[in-house]
Amino acid sequence: MSETNDIARLRGVGVKLGRSEVLRGLELGLAPGELCVLLGRNGAGKTTLMRVLAGTLRAESGSVRVCGADPSRSAAARAAIGFVPSLPDLPPWMSLTTAARFARRCYPTWDDRRLWRAADALAVPRRGRISKLSRGQAAGVQLALALAARPRLLLLDEPFAGLDAVARDGLLSAFLTEVDLEDTATLVSTHDLDIAARIADRALLMDGGALREQAVGDAQLEHSAAALRALLTQTTPGPDGAAA
Ligand SMILES: Nc1ncnc2c1ncn2[C@@H]1O[C@H](COP(=O)(O)OP(=O)(O)OP(=O)(O)O)[C@@H](O)[C@H]1O
């Protein structure tokens, strides 16, 4: 895939938070139709990278482009992005149905059938207020909304964390049936290497604020997961010294 077709492209991106250089000289391209998993030890910078791509954090150096524009400055670029943060951030009084009413107006590519399919797969209540839902259910609401928006760039920060086995299977099946869109690039951060090996076209490994790539390919899943685990153990913890 040529660089010019990339939905998202980072060039030489650097971010400093407090005194820590959290991202340095980051180079990344995300192409239509690919699903990349983002791996790395605690504190490696995965959430920071997601926020830079989502446009909620501005890089200090380098360039960030999503659909050709800087998402921290361009509303059009942000409308092409579906970002599900690791902690749900919808207003607590909303339900899936009321949130969908707002989201439908923001995304020209909105698809109601995908919304209800994803909600069913994730066993998300349609009417319960976010404040009355469990953390896993609230995460499911945000994910169903992001899938229904059919964004060009889908960013999911630890979507499998805190899910029970049924919700996890629902999410996996939603991934396998709904996420693999030809015109969407998807980036998923996770600490679950078995799931990473199962869903990924490509694995990105964060180490010391930089990225390394690892092909996942068609190798047997347990071999891929073992290879990813071996790679991860060779990486350094985040700049604050957090252990994996
Ligand atoms: N607001 C902040 N001020 C200073 N340092 C910060 C701030 N937010 C994050 N950091 C530091 O930036 C580094 C990267 O954090 P980030 O949340 O991106 O890591 P992560 O890879 O997502 O970690 P985890 O796997 O634990 O979620 C960490 O060392 C963290 O302490």
Would you say residue 91 lies in a domain? Answer: yes
Would you say residue 108 lies in a domain? Answer: yes
Q: What's the CA gap between 206 and 203, in Å, rounded?
A: 10
User: Along the 244 residues of the chain, how does pLDDT read in single tens digits?
Assistant: 456 689 999 999 999 998 889 999 999 999 998 889 999 888 889 999 999 999 999 999 999 999 999 999 999 999 899 999 888 788 889 999 999 999 898 888 899 998 998 888 878 888 889 889 887 788 888 888 998 998 999 999 998 887 788 878 877 877 777 665 678 999 999 998 888 888 888 889 888 888 877 666 655 556 667 777 777 777 776 665 544 3
Would you say residue 244 lies in a domain? Answer: no
* 44 CA closest ligand 1 atom index: 21
For the Cβ of 48 lying below 6 angstroms from any atom of ligand 1, the answer is yes
For the Cβ of 204 lying below 6 angstroms from any atom of ligand 1, the answer is no
- State which residues form the domain around 122: 3-233
Number of domains the chain is built from? 1
Is the pTM above the cut of 0.90? Answer: no
For residue 49, the surrounding DSSP H or E stretch is helix 46-54
